[in-house]
Each structure stands twice: as structure tokens, then as C-alpha cells.
Structure 1
Amino acid sequence: MSGSIDTAFLSGLVDAIVEIEKPVRLVGHSLGGQWAIRILESVPDRVSAITLLCSRDTPFPAFLPAAQRLRDGDPVDVDGAMARWFTAQELSAPSPGSGATDAAPDVVGYARRCLSTVDTASYIRDLESIARFDRSDVLAETDAAVTLIAAELDAVSTPEAMAQIGERAGVPVTVLPGARHMSPFTDPEALAALLTGEARVGQEG
């Protein structure tokens, strides 16, 4: 099964892509990567390439207990999610406005604010979707160019899980050393270069 999914939202995305004259390149991170896979599955002739960044095409059942705890009234574990998303160094880095010359973009602060104010019902739906998502056949059968980028320390979209996608799709995986799930967004310029093929970062496997 595909997990919980907003079919109306998916239909709107597909309709928007169909209206574009040329085939598109999809780029998706985490749950966004799973949306990208669903779009590719829906309109394969409208997608020329797909890039998955820290995502997976198989279920991650460990998120089901987390979703159930939220249903039972537990609060969102903001600190736990942040520790999974960012490295300790990124979490302790100076924030914009601090006066530090090495202050990074406020991705960490933004992520914490989003987690602190997230709609619990939506968060539960997303966790359950990732827990049940299974589209392991889509990238194995696509004619679109596939690019896979993993973070070495990602505990959910692990390099091993993404390597399995690569085996099915017949492509290598670029692994970002020392990175966690959201680490790529702390350096937007480096991420842009990576996505456009202008940078060679990490190791391929």
C-alpha cells in the first residue's frame, strides 16, 4: 500500500505538470521524494529526470509507533527530530543576526519553528505515509534519468536503503559524508551545485 496520501493534492500536481510544454525534472527530499515518485508513476511520459534526496521507495514501519504516540496525546518530540535531522555541529552553529561571521542560513531555526507549530494531524499523516510507502517498482521500470543522493548519517533514508533503490534503477548513489537528513539545506549554494551536476561531493556506491 502507498500509505496515507492526499489524492486531490496529487491530482493537482499532475495536472500542473501536464500543462507544462516540456518534460520536467522532479527533485524531491524525504516525503517530497515520495511525492515525486507518485508523480512519475502517474505521468511517466511527462518526466525526463527524477532526483531523490534523502528519500526512500520502501516502507519505514518504525514511524507507526511514533504516529500512534501522537494519536494518544503525546507532544511532538521536537528535540528528537532535530537531532535526527541535523548534526550536533549544525545545531550549535551561530544563527543569523548573532553577529558571527560564520553564521549559517537559518535552516535549523526554521525547522525547529515548523516542528514546534506543526499541525499534529498532518504530522501523523506524514509519518504514517512514510511508514507504509511502497513504490519499489517505479524507479526500476522508469525511462527517466535517476539521480540518488543520500546522507551518511541519515537514520531513515539510510545510504543502504538508497543503495537498494540504486540497484533497482541501475544507478549509483552519491553519499554526503558526515551529513544527516536535513544537513544539505544548511548550505544552499553547495546543494544547488550538487543538484545541477556542478559539484562532485561525497562518495558513490
Structure 2
Amino acid sequence: MNSICVFCGSSTGFGEKYKEGAVSLGIEIARRGLHLVYGGGNVGLMGLLAQTVLEGGGRVTGIIPEAIHKKVKLLQGGRTIVVADMHSRKMKMHEESDGFIALPGGIGTFEEILEAFTWSQLGFHKKPVALLNTEGYYQSLLDQFVHSVQEGFFKESHNRTLLIHEDSSTLLDAMDLYKPLIEDKWINP
């Protein structure tokens, strides 16, 4: 893995734990010499993450839609790619990255990581998809996945491909060791 795309909040959330998780991941990304690909803003967890990577001597590429580019302050020191819209942004992030992580975030973060997970399930890519589950932030979503498996809408084997850890170093280690599942997603073809 050479580059990692991180989806995360454009706010920092309540409490220091989310900021600490972003800083921890940023330190690990820089320490390992990974290239960070992220949403392009200098706000919230995304700005904190990118700034931490840069301060650690790492490389950062922000990919931002034109409409958002006009509204937010950009991070200094990294490369910024301005694209037409959100669909173009996600496609460019996919092209630039060898794996995907979601930190805590809102609906945009959910949508981005779930799309990457869906593409994995469909076999559109063979890259690791992961959650940095800071303080159990994603537990409700993980419970929903279990429910989907129990109700016959999602295979357990695909559910197990999602990498989940609360520790940045452990999560990146798991991503390095990731072996893609080669199994059709269809339960009842």
C-alpha cells in the first residue's frame, strides 16, 4: 500500500477523542511513508488529519469539488485537485488510493465509505476498506450489518472483509495484510 484515502468529518465532533484519533492516524500515515488522499479542506477532522501528515513529513493530496473549493479554506503544503462534482471527487479518490479508511464523520463520510465497501463487495476493486472505530463510533452501523446478514441481505463473508480497529497502527497493519475476497456477492442469483 502506497496511498490511503481517508474519509472523515469536516467538523471535529464533541470531545477530544475524535481529534486524538485523527492525529494518531496522521502520525502513522506519515511515519509509514504513505501518501494521504483526502477531501481537500482545512476544517474539522479532515484538516487536522492532513496537517498532522504534513507536519510528519508526509505527502497529502486533497480532492475537492469546485463548489466546495469556493467555500472552504485549503490546506497549505499539499497538492489540491479541484474536480467538477462529488461523483468526480470519489472517482478521483478511488484512482489515487490503494485503500480506504473512515474516521468518525457525518452523512458524507458514511456515504463515501459505504460506496467503497459496496464496490469491494461487487468486485469493482480489491482494495481494503476500513473503519477507525474511535470510542466505538461505528458500532450502530456494524450492528446493522450483522442484522443485514441475519436477514439474508448481506453475506457474512463480505461483512468480514471490512477491517475495524480502534488503534491506527493495528488498522494500518491489517490493511497491509489484506487479502481480497473472491466470492460472488449474490445470495440468490
For normalisation by structure 2, the TM-score amounts to 0.31
Larger radius of gyration: 1
